[in-house]
Amino acid sequence: MRKGKALLAGLLLLGVGTVAQAALPVSLQLKDDLERIYDTAWPTTPPLPQPKGLRPCCAFGYDLKAELLNIPVPFYELDNVITVDGLGHHRYNDNMLLGLANLAGIGSENNGIIYTARGGFIDTAHVRDTADLTLFIFSHLQPKLGQAFTLRLKSELAKRRIVFNAFTPPDNALDRYTLAAWISARLAFQLAAWHEIAQWYGWESVPGFSEGVSAFSPEDLYSNLLGARIAVSLIRSGQTASLEMYDAAMDNALMQALTVLDAKPAQMTRFQFDMLDGHWWNSQRRVPEKYLVLHRNYDVSDARIPTPVPGEKAAPLPLSLPQRWENYSLDSLATLKLLPGKRMARLPAPKSYYTAASFSRLAAFAKKSDIAEKSR
């Protein structure tokens, strides 16, 4: 859990080393335009290990206090605010300790929330997580495109399986490469959407530490979608031949993306948080109290605009992922299946399994339940 790990990191972590990487030029493509600006099927990294959980960041708000087992934690405060020039160096998340080290300020990455005029609030941990997941899936799919196989992921209430179907892939190497990239991004975003659902229904990555505060937070899924779009740009522009290349390219790509979104300095992020105190969040509550976050976005689609911030006059930047590429329906080629798990908390067990087609219904129930609970 992001908030649980955040607290535990601040209390317990002693030290992990860092490695810096230089940034590389990136041809960044955030709009849903599929024209062939990329003309090469580049070499890519061999199949990667699954990312180790999610980066521990960030409840909505800033200067957050915490409690553990309903007891306030003294002298602990999470700033949460990040700036474009303070992002640190990306590291593919293949080690759980890396995320805790970064949160404690002794790792290579710096993660937090930044306000942007065109993208609202952006959580950089969510951006990085979905970019890593996209590359992870692509590294397994690209060499096997058209073959039937299954990727088994760590459970989150349900057993997570990505099932790839057998089909006839394009003859052209560039087309195969591009198709694999879009399939991977779509699946990575679905995994992010499932994580929001799982948090609401009782998933705890740190046992006993509720994640309800984070579920459907207003900045989450737009940030995840931004990460998927960035990863596709890096894959298609040849920046993923090795993890070292990918990590360095992510440094530059994340800065570019935030600049496109018109990222604001830290004082403006704090100002926007202050303006929303009592409306979107409650600064008097502590992590992990659920209603520290007062405003949520239950939309789980991969065609979205940022959650509108009152008073912002800049035009939002829509982000989306294609449902089709050329003559292929992407959902017919691969399916995220969520099978019944051993401990499903409040999540009703499906008759067979959930898919992305189930997400809107599960999110709608969450929204209805939250409205009813707050009205009592």
Return d(Cα 254, Cα 130) in angstroms, integer: 12
The tally of CA atoms less than 13 A away on the side-chain side of residue 34 is 12
Give the mean model confidence (pLDDT) for residues 41-67. 89
Give the mean model confidence (pLDDT) for residues 238-243. 95
Which residues are CB-contacts of 199 (< 8 A; sequence separation ≥ 6)? 1, 211, 212, 214, 215
Q: What is the pLDDT of residue 23?
A: 46
pLDDT of residue 353 exceeding 70, the answer is: yes
Give the mean model confidence (pLDDT) for residues 274-285. 97
pLDDT of residue 153 exceeding 50, the answer is: yes
What percent of the chain clears pLDDT 70, i.e. is strictly above it?
A: 88
Mean of per-residue pLDDT scores for the chain: 89
pLDDT of residue 46 exceeding 60, the answer is: yes
Q: What is the pLDDT of residue 99?
A: 55
CB 338 within 8 A of CB 354: yes
**Is residue 318 classed exposed, middle or buried when 0-12, 13-18 and 19+ CB atoms within 10 A define those classes?**
middle
Residue 206's pLDDT band, with cuts at 50, 70 and 90, is confident
Give the mean model confidence (pLDDT) for residues 22-43. 70
Full domain range(s) for residue 169? 2-16+23-375
What percent of the chain is helix, strand and coil (3-state, nearest 5)? 40, 15, 50
Q: What is the pLDDT of residue 66?
A: 85
Q: What is the pLDDT of residue 1?
A: 47
Positive/negative CA dihedral, 308, 227, 83, 259: negative
| Lowest-confidence segment of 32-36, 210-214, 265-269, 326-330 by average pLDDT | 32-36
pLDDT of residue 22 exceeding 90, the answer is: no
Residue 351's pLDDT band, with cuts at 50, 70 and 90, is very high
> Which 3 state secondary structure label does DSSP give 183?
helix
Alpha helices in 18-172 (DSSP H): 96-103, 124-141
The count of structural domains within the chain is: 1
Residue 372 burial (CB count, 10 A)? 9
Q: What is the pLDDT of residue 135?
A: 98
Q: What is the pLDDT of residue 232?
A: 96
pLDDT tens sequence across 64-123: 998 877 777 876 778 899 999 999 999 998 665 665 555 555 678 999 999 999 999 999
